[in-house]
Chains A and B, each alone.
Chain A
């Protein structure tokens, strides 16, 4: 996974609450068993003028020239709610988004973000609103910086003094900073896992199927 230490980029406001993963990537846009080929389907229901079409709707924020090249989203509460589909995060990442700043996130979505090099930055609703006001007057010039290493969002540009600290749990921060493969990390504890299983088989034998004796369904 590609590490994410710090990003300075154009930020696009999408402040509505409860943006769900069906909206981020409609089910009909998940066309193959793959983690790629999803960027074109990102926000498809809002981004294009017709269902299944590819003609950009000029009213949609990411289609506006001022937000061309945006890599940060400013979102509303409960961002990423709904379906667990990781395709939502894969689509955002493939499109170029590297950080989402919002008052709250759906838990599965936030977890999917840190596993794919995308920072879910939680800030109070007033802070998100003030960042949105700041960028709106000149999005291309007034870029935001999300500094994962320092746990801080900063606003660039003339006269800017916006600086908002944020917290990520240590595991999420390390995953983003180091681009670590969690499976490799865990397999270092193989001895612990084996010891756990040996004890647990004795304590809770019903958890461990004896296929010949109990699986009468096959």
Chain B
């Protein structure tokens, strides 16, 4: 029998019908929607007079447009945003699907709430019209982002017509140094292999350093597979996964739980499984990373400098354009660059362990004069859990705004922004031109780097604020998150 990869073991049982030429009709176990792109899919489907194949396996949240200011309702800072919320709510109710609505205690960013509620499960297929759906592969699911038209297809038929992707294994051996996080690892891989490095592949993250990551770190790592142009990423489920899922509201219970776990233990690649591409990373080479340009591949170790065109891995034209946009010159050190904005949030880094590590840096310190700093928990559940530990007080006393959950300033939709040419350190995933606001200059990094930079008033290395890494200050186990 040929050796099968983890991906094969998830894909094969979902094939409803082989359509030839590598194409399959694949069963979709879960569809998630949000008010930005799901709304138009539901509306278009209703206009075509088509029903949902199984509303009980479709879920919807309000995260992209909803305000994150305290006391929020349906009105939004984004012009016209309220219409998206109202139309999504009406369409979702008409379709009979569960909505994590604006005032729902379980509302939050789709890729935060789906794992924390146990909606995504190992071995499952899950799609959402959102590119960061790959995040959820961290639980051993095949989860990927699609367009709205494909979402209509998944909703109407419970399947997708899909070509089997090429596969890639990224093995990360050794150990991440103290103070180095999953976010840094993701940026390191992008810097080394480029933003198109994983084009169209289903990536399996493997190796000692990946197995050592807690679940929330795994979610962060898989989150940025789309920045790598991969179709998705997946990590074999293990005890970390099962411990994380056990008792979650939508996870199986009782006898069903035991039966499921027994099946999930088989979701591991066979020895000798073959991949179309393999990449090997030495975890010991990774240091805290920060982006300098306008693509996530434009990233360097925080102690480094803005690269020259020759060493940047970018074309001379895109290198020059990125430096012009960012207001930087080749050879300039990153540490010490003055910042006026700091953002902790997004589907990449807004979970409880992220907030704990940032709070460990902030505790007893103040945000520098002239820096606008925000923390936006990834879900209302994360927010409540953080408040129960007093983390909100740490953020607020340091000078951070403490928000309701949502995507918030990860992207600019016409509402809030940091302003033109303002330099922002952000725990998000995209440093594209104008992503966080017209002409805003975004540097992406880990939450602890954002926190350290907010305090310093310039880009700063968190290891110098909390020796041994912020994880060391919040207890064992979180250090590699």
Q: Do A and B come from one complex?
A: yes
Residues of A near any B CB (own CB < 8 A):
15-18, 20, 22-23, 26-28, 30-35, 45, 51-52, 76-78, 81-87, 89, 104, 106-108, 111-112, 115-116, 169-171, 182-183, 185-187, 189, 192-193, 196-197, 200, 203-209, 211, 213-218
B152 close to chain A: CB less than 8 A: yes
Instruction: Give the complex CA separation of A31 and B156 in angstroms.
Output: 26
Q: Can you list the 3 inter-chain pairs with the closest CB atoms, starting with the nearest?
A: A28-B414, A206-B252, A112-B147
Interface residues of B in 284-308 (CB under 8 A from A): 295, 297
B231 close to chain A: CB less than 8 A: yes
Cβ–Cβ < 8 Å partners of A104 in chain B = 196, 199, 229
| A107/B200 in contact, CB under 8 A | yes
A-B residue pairs in contact (CB < 8 Å), sample of 22: A16-B318, A27-B413, A82-B226, A84-B146, A85-B147, A86-B149, A87-B37, A104-B229, A107-B200, A115-B149, A171-B21, A171-B161, A182-B149, A186-B161, A192-B16, A193-B53, A196-B16, A200-B13, A204-B263, A206-B121, A207-B29, A208-B56
Instruction: Give the complex CA separation of A196 and B12 in angstroms.
Output: 12
B309 close to chain A: CB less than 8 A: no
B159 close to chain A: CB less than 8 A: yes
| B39/A169 in contact, CB under 8 A | no
Q: Mark B139-168, 1 if CB is under 8 A from A, else 0.
A: 000000111111011001111010101000
| A108/B153 in contact, CB under 8 A | no
Instruction: Give the complex CA separation of A208 and B121 in angstroms.
Output: 12
Given A28-B79, A206-B257: 18 more A-B contacts, CB < 8 Å:
A16-B317, A16-B321, A18-B318, A22-B435, A27-B413, A45-B434, A86-B37, A86-B147, A86-B149, A107-B200, A108-B145, A112-B150, A187-B156, A187-B157, A189-B17, A192-B16, A203-B13, A205-B259
| B199/A186 in contact, CB under 8 A | no
- Which B residue's beta carbon lies closest to that of A27? B413
Cβ–Cβ < 8 Å partners of B152 in chain A = 183
Evaluate whether A186 and B434 lie within 8 angstroms (CB atoms) in the complex, with A16-B317, A86-B129, A200-B27 already known: no
- Which B residue's beta carbon lies closest to that of A175? B161
Instruction: Give the complex CA separation of A26 and B281 in angstroms.
Output: 35
B372 close to chain A: CB less than 8 A: no
Inter-chain residue pair count (beta carbon < 8 A):
207
Instruction: Give the complex CA separation of A211 and B84 in angstroms.
Output: 28
| B150/A115 in contact, CB under 8 A | yes
Evaluate whether A217 and B117 lie within 8 angstroms (CB atoms) in the complex, with A84-B130, A183-B156, A206-B252 already known: yes
| B229/A106 in contact, CB under 8 A | yes
B73 close to chain A: CB less than 8 A: no
Instruction: Give the complex CA separation of A33 and B91 in angstroms.
Output: 11
Q: How far is the CB of B9 from chain A (nearest CB, A)?
A: 13
| A20/B432 in contact, CB under 8 A | yes
| A78/B196 in contact, CB under 8 A | yes
Cβ–Cβ < 8 Å partners of B430 in chain A = 20, 22, 82
- Which A residue's beta carbon lies closest to that of B152? A183
Q: How far is the CB of A26 from chain B (nearest CB, A)?
A: 7
Cβ–Cβ < 8 Å partners of A112 in chain B = 147, 149-150
Instruction: Give the complex CA separation of A31 and B129 in angstroms.
Output: 18
Evaluate whether A78 and B130 lie within 8 angstroms (CB atoms) in the complex, with A111-B150, A215-B249 already known: no
Evaluate whether A214 and B150 lie within 8 angstroms (CB atoms) in the complex, with A86-B37, A106-B229, A108-B145 already known: no
| B145/A77 in contact, CB under 8 A | no
Q: How far is the CB of A167 from chain B (nearest CB, A)?
A: 12
Question: B16, B317, B411: which contacts A189 (Cβ < 8 A)?
Answer: B16
Cβ–Cβ < 8 Å partners of B257 in chain A = 206
Cβ–Cβ < 8 Å partners of B192 in chain A = none
Instruction: Give the complex CA separation of A211 and B98 in angstroms.
Output: 11
Q: How far is the CB of B100 from chain A (nearest CB, A)?
A: 9
Evaluate whether A108 and B146 lie within 8 angstroms (CB atoms) in the complex, with A33-B40, A85-B37 already known: yes
B315 close to chain A: CB less than 8 A: yes
| A206/B259 in contact, CB under 8 A | yes
Instruction: Give the complex CA separation of A218 and B413 in angstroms.
Output: 31
Evaluate whether A217 and B249 lie within 8 angstroms (CB atoms) in the complex, with A16-B317, A18-B295 already known: yes
| A33/B434 in contact, CB under 8 A | no
Cβ–Cβ < 8 Å partners of B229 in chain A = 78, 81, 104, 106-107
Interface residues of B in 116-141 (CB under 8 A from A): 117, 121, 123-124, 129-131
B388 close to chain A: CB less than 8 A: no
B365 close to chain A: CB less than 8 A: no
